Every structure is written in structure tokens, then in C-alpha cells.
Amino acid sequence: MQYISTRGRSRPIDFQEALLSGLAPDGGLYVPQHWPQFSPKEIQEVKGVSYTETAFRIIKPFVGTSIAHERLAVMINEAYGQIGHRAKCPLVQIGDNLFLCELFHGPTLAFKDFALQLVSRMLTDVLKQRNQKCVIVGATSGDTGSAAIEAFRGLEQVEVFILYPDGKVSDIQRRQMTTPQEANVHAIAVQGTFDDCQNLVKQMFGDTTFRAEMNLAAINSINWARIVSQIVYYFYSAVTVGAPENSISFVVPTGNFGDIYAGYAAKQMGLPVTDLVIATNQNDILYQALNSGHYHITDVRPSISPSMDIQVSSNFERVLFEAGGKDSHSIQAKMQDLQKGGFKINEVELNYLRKYFSAGRSSERETRQVMADTLRETGQVICPHTAVGVKVAQELKQNSPETVITLATAHPAKFPDAVKDACGIIPQLPDRLSKRLKGAEKIHTSPNSLSELQEFMRSTLNC
């Protein structure tokens, strides 16, 4: 399987290279040259099969010959052995034909564990094969950073630098990043927003000298291997509620468009998905874009669902590329316009996008209301990100009898202040986590400056 860049100026590469590089040298994102196909019969055969076996079947065609299949199977078993629930992503019913898919039973209590636990194993395997080390750099709005640090702590082949917006992640998210004491992990509090952090990471990758010097690898959701890992739970959960005979809709609390893009991938691969619903908080750029055709950046407004406080949804480029018939010139032009504040989506692209996606949004007040209502009516405590999804799902259900799965992206205990405010209770952290988070914090603070960060990374590696 080969991967091509959305910007069309880099050569096609295999899975190993896509895994190692993240961003293409031309600034684009890698997408598969074609989508592996699963027939209704093959989808049916997933029924009753374990999560790990499902994962193996779905992931295998994407990996090709980059990782031997026996080793891939071992990695999948180890990675999902870290998830503290037998079903891995249990479905919980919260209404007529309305389900939550709980993706927060991993070690850092957010869905990011599903990708990063596997990606860390694939990456170290490939680095060992090549006798290489690498530097991982990532920007986080809270959950990617903790999942990455957890997945890579103490590993010899990798040095990890995670940039997070200072003061804009929850205490628990921060502690998950700053309490690991292993020398190879570094949490950096950047004086700026998540978009600033993401921009710094993109600039590091754009600096070809620095990139080569460090052997940089990206583990943000732009990394293709992360998307691949996330496709699995769409298949697994859809089959559990009746696919392929029934077509299912998914509502996905969205920030960087990685998780919902994995749903799009599942649909391209043959999973019958009626609607992929983008659920946004008050940072509703994707909702606006789908409605108006204008993707226009405004300031980020911090919300109680911080992992979705994003204006530049990186993975949106992947679906725009397909919407425009894989026209990399059009993507180049759009991304240049984005530097100046926004771009226009043309009629053809917009029709394509609307065929696959719809969008809804939830205000802060509505999100709190849904958290309180859900607890009262179902006994379930949900996190504010999940609540954004549930709000949008309930709207959708008003005019459709169809089965809807909302992805429950984080454990409520990760956001105790928001839960207490909305529901009047303090959600309990699982024991295994609360003990660990009590330790001392290791934080490096940095201004929003590329040169200072590069200096820090160089000096860290040289000592």
C-alpha cells in the first residue's frame, strides 16, 4: 500500500515511512492511494470476533509489508491489553437507538490511547528494524500529549517533546503529562493557544535542516498510523449494533478532524454509514464551513471541552483533497489562503462534503444542560466533549429512527470541574490513575517562539 501527499510535491511512500514522518516534506498529509475494501460478507464475519482480531483484519491491508503480520498481531494484543475493559470500547445505550461508544478505558482515559498505544509499538518496531532513533514532537490540546507520553515513556528509541497551551488544559491532563519522571519525555508549557502549539510543530517540520538533524517524527493526528488505528472501533461498534444489514450514523465530537476522518475512512472501506456528524463546541469553524462554504479562522474561545478548542483542523485537508478529486494544486492554493485567514470551498467540493458529513454544535450552556440531563435520565456521567456529541445526536434523532452511535471520547473524571459545575458531583478517577498523578511535576515553560524551542530541544538531546 502506497501513500501520497495531499500537496502533490512529495513522492509516494509506504507505511513505514508514513509512520516515521507524519507530515510530508511538501507540507501535505499522507493519504492512501486507494481504500482497502471490505465486502458485506467480510464485515459480517467480524460479528462476535474480539476487538483485537477485528483490529488485525482492518489494519493489516494498510500496513502491507512494512511490519510482519505475526509481529503486528502481537503489538495489537499488547496495545489493547492496556485498555481496562474487556470489550475495549463498550456500547452504552442512552436512548431509543442511541448509543455511546466508550473510548475512554485506556491508560489516560481518552480515545487517543487507542491510537497511541499501538503507534508507539509500531514506531519502536520500525526504528529497531532500521537501527534508528527519533525525536517525537507533538502539539496537544490536552489528551494527545498525555496519551503520547504514557505510550512512549521510558522507551530507548525515542525522545518525546509535547507542546501544550499553558493554562489551557485541565489539571488532570497537565499532571498526566508532567508527572512521568522518565528522562525521555518532556512536557512544554507554551505561552499561547493550541493552534500556536500546532503551528510551532508544523514550522519545525518545515525546517528541513532541523527536521533531518533531529530525525523528527510527528504523532499528532496527522500521522497516518493514528487514523488507521481509529478506523477499527467504527467497524467494531457498527457491527455490534447490526451492520452491515443496518446502516449506522456516527456523531463525533471533533477538533482536529482526525477521529471523524477515521469514520470517513471506514465508510470508504465499505462500512455502511449513513451520516458522519461533526459535533463542535462554540469553536464551530467546521460547522460554519460546511454550511457556508467559507473556512474562516477566528480566535479560539476557550471552552469546557478544551480538546476541541481548535480552529485549524489539520485533517480536514485530507477530506478536502478527496472532495476536490485529488487536485493537489487546489489544496496548495487553499493552504496558502489559510495563512491569510481562510479559504473558500467550491460548489463541487461542498456537495461532496455534504454527501458524507453533516454538522451540529453545542453552546457551553447546552453542553452543561446535556450533562445534567443525561445523568438524571440515564445515570451516566459524561465528559463535556461527549456531551457536545450527545447534544448533536439528540437533534439528529428528532427526525430519524435510525441507530446513532456517539463517540464518548474521554472519561468524565478527566474534567472534574466541568462535571461538578454541570452535575453537582465529582467524578472519581480510577485508582490506577489517581495514585500516579500525585507525584512531582516536571515542566519546561517556553514563549511562543520557534527558535527558543529548537534551542531547548537541541540542548536536551546533547546532554
Q: Does 418 bind ligand PLP (CB under 6 A)?
A: no
Give the count of residues interacting with ligand PLP (CB under 6 A): 16
Q: Does 360 bind ligand PLP (CB under 6 A)?
A: no
- Site residues (CB under 6 A) for ligand PLP, limited to 14-73: none
Return the closest-CA partner of residue 98 out of 409, 354, 359, 408. Answer: 408
Q: Toward ligand PLP, which CB reaches closer, 248 or 383? A: 383
Q: Toward ligand PLP, which CB reaches closer, 176 or 330? A: 176
Q: Using CB under 6 A as the criterion, what x/- string covers residues 129-158 for binding ligand PLP?
A: --------------x---------------
Query: Interacting stretch for ligand PLP, rule CB under 6 A, among 28-36, 128-136, 257-265, 291-299?
Result: 257-265
Buried b vs exposed e over 94-122: b needs ≥16 C-beta within 10 Å? bbebbbbbbbbbbbbbbbbbbbbbbbbbb
3-state secondary structure of 279: strand
The Cα–Cα gap between 159 and 275 comes to 40
Q: How far is the CB of 415 from ligand PLP (least distance, A)?
A: 8
Q: How far is the CB of 409 from ligand PLP (least distance, A)?
A: 3
The residue annotated as part of the active site, out of 41, 88, 112, 355, is 112
Q: Does 257 bind ligand PLP (CB under 6 A)?
A: yes
Q: Toward ligand PLP, which CB reaches closer, 9 or 301? A: 301
Q: Does 318 bind ligand PLP (CB under 6 A)?
A: no
Member of 6, 117, 120, 307 binding ligand PLP (CB under 6 A):
307
Q: Does 286 bind ligand PLP (CB under 6 A)?
A: no
* Length of the chain (residues): 463
Member of 120, 157, 280, 409 binding ligand PLP (CB under 6 A):
409
CA dist list (Å): 419 to 245, 295, 386, 413, 428: 37, 32, 12, 8, 11
The Cα–Cα gap between 373 and 386 comes to 13
Q: Which helix (H) or strand (E) holds 160?
A: strand 158-165
Q: Does 110 bind ligand PLP (CB under 6 A)?
A: yes
Q: Toward ligand PLP, which CB reaches closer, 46 or 408? A: 408
Calculate the dihedral angle through the C-alpha atoms of 62, 68, 73, 78, rounding to the nearest 10 degrees.
-100
Q: Count H helices and E strands in the chain, helices first.
A: 20, 15
CA dist list (Å): 316 to 4, 8, 13, 311, 357: 16, 16, 21, 11, 12
Member of 21, 54, 223, 256 binding ligand PLP (CB under 6 A):
256
Q: How far is the CB of 451 from ligand PLP (least distance, A)?
A: 28
Q: Toward ligand PLP, which CB reaches closer, 236 or 257? A: 257
Q: Does 308 bind ligand PLP (CB under 6 A)?
A: yes
DSSP H helices in 92-223: 112-130, 143-152, 171-178, 194-206, 208-214
Asked if residues 405 and 241 have their Cβ atoms less than 8 Å apart, the reply is yes
Return the closest-CA partner of residue 33 out of 51, 18, 23. Answer: 18
Query: Interacting stretch for ligand PLP, rule CB under 6 A, among 76-84, 251-259, 338-346, 442-450?
Result: 251-259
Q: Does 410 bind ligand PLP (CB under 6 A)?
A: yes
Query: Interacting stretch for ligand PLP, rule CB under 6 A, among 77-85, 113-121, 253-261, 448-456?
Result: 253-261
Position of cell 459524561?
Answer: 382
Q: Does 281 bind ligand PLP (CB under 6 A)?
A: no
Q: How far is the CB of 147 from ligand PLP (least distance, A)?
A: 8
The Cα–Cα gap between 348 and 339 comes to 23
Asked if residues 434 and 323 have their Cβ atoms less than 8 Å apart, the reply is no
Q: Does 275 bind ligand PLP (CB under 6 A)?
A: no
Query: Interacting stretch for ligand PLP, rule CB under 6 A, among 42-50, 71-79, 255-263, 284-292?
Result: 255-263
β-pairing, 30-32 with 3-5?
Answer: antiparallel
Asked if residues 63 and 109 have their Cβ atoms less than 8 Å apart, the reply is no
Q: Toward ligand PLP, which CB reaches closer, 224 or 257? A: 257
Q: Using CB under 6 A as the criterion, what x/- string covers residues 206-235 for binding ligand PLP?
A: ---------------x--------------
Q: Does 112 bind ligand PLP (CB under 6 A)?
A: yes
| Residue 112 designated active-site | yes
Cβ–Cβ contacts within 10 Å for residue 246, how many? 14
Question: Any bridge partners for residue 162, and if so which?
Answer: 138, 187
Return the closest-CA partner of residue 134 out of 7, 16, 27, 13. Answer: 16
Which residues are catalytic, by number? Answer: 112
List residues binding ligand PLP (CB under 6 A): 110, 112, 143, 221, 253-259, 307-308, 385, 409-410
